[in-house]
Homo-oligomer: A and B are copies of this chain.
Amino acid sequence: MTLPAPDYSSKVFAALRRNCATEWNAYIDHAFVRGMGDGSLPKASFLHYLIQDYVYLRHYSRAWAMGVVKANTLEEMRLSAATVNGLINIEMPLHIKICARENIDETQLFNAEEELASLSYTRYVLDAGLSGDFLDLLVAVVPCALGYGEIGKRLAASQTSSTPYQEWIDTYNGEPFQALCADVGKLLDDAVANRIGADFENSPRWQQLNRTFAMATKLEAGFWQMGLEGGQA
């Protein structure tokens, strides 16, 4: 069975992913991900991940807010602002709801000690924004958004049994998140068109954009690994 690898109609995303295929597969097909799909992931690992992912989302929202600061077009501004809002008012509350069921309240979440895997990833992304322009920032935030979309679709497509992580799968495979992925894919292609042009793969910037994308992808895999190990302590 061939699993979905959606391009979200983005030529730039397709090229970036192709150029770091090894890192990308280590991310989207990580043992943690497979464990969510077949239900074998220990609950403690999942909770460990979820708490760190809340901390992650806090800083990931800050990165999209940097996108508002750095936007050149109305579209860049609007989608970045909507994403900040969606992350803080939709995705973070989902984490709060699941954690509440496990008696972990929001203050605990907000003050959870940040692990290295989370800290390094988000600060790297924020610095991609600080040191570069909107596009440099965007290629650093894309692996999280579009990768989660791809993982959601893959897990849904390959599922053969029930799993306690169905709610997670449904969230990222669901229409609202998939629609966001399509919007981000379009934003990426437009951002490249507005700054580099059609022949982007021959631009002097292309190598650096690939490096940033690959590093963010590697840090995503490290995040799953942290979740896996955290629950086994």
Q: Which positions in A face B, CB cutoff 8 Å? A: 58, 61-62, 65-72, 74, 77-78, 80-82, 84-85, 88-89, 106, 110, 116, 119-120, 123-124, 126-127, 130-134, 136, 193-197, 203-205, 208, 222
Contacts and interface: CB of A to CB of B under 8 A. Distances in A.
Main SS of the interface on chain A? helix
22 contacts: A62-B68, A65-B65, A65-B67, A68-B84, A69-B69, A69-B126, A69-B130, A70-B130, A77-B88, A81-B84, A81-B85, A81-B89, A82-B85, A116-B116, A119-B120, A120-B123, A120-B124, A126-B127, A126-B130, A133-B136, A193-B204, A197-B204
A61 B72 contact: no
A49 to B, nearest CB: 18
Nearest to A63: B69
Given A65-B65, A84-B84, A120-B123, 10 more contacts: A65-B81, A69-B69, A69-B126, A81-B85, A126-B130, A131-B134, A133-B136, A195-B204, A195-B205, A197-B203
A204 B203 CA distance: 12
A66 B130 CA distance: 10
Nearest to A66: B69
A233 B168 CA distance: 38
Contacts of A124: 119-120, 123
A136 B89 CA distance: 25
Contacts of A85: 81-82, 84-85
A83 to B, nearest CB: 10
Given A81-B84, A84-B85, A133-B132, A68 B65 contact: yes
Give the top 6 A-B pairs by smallest Cβ distance, nearest first: A120-B120, A123-B123, A65-B68, A133-B133, A85-B85, A65-B65
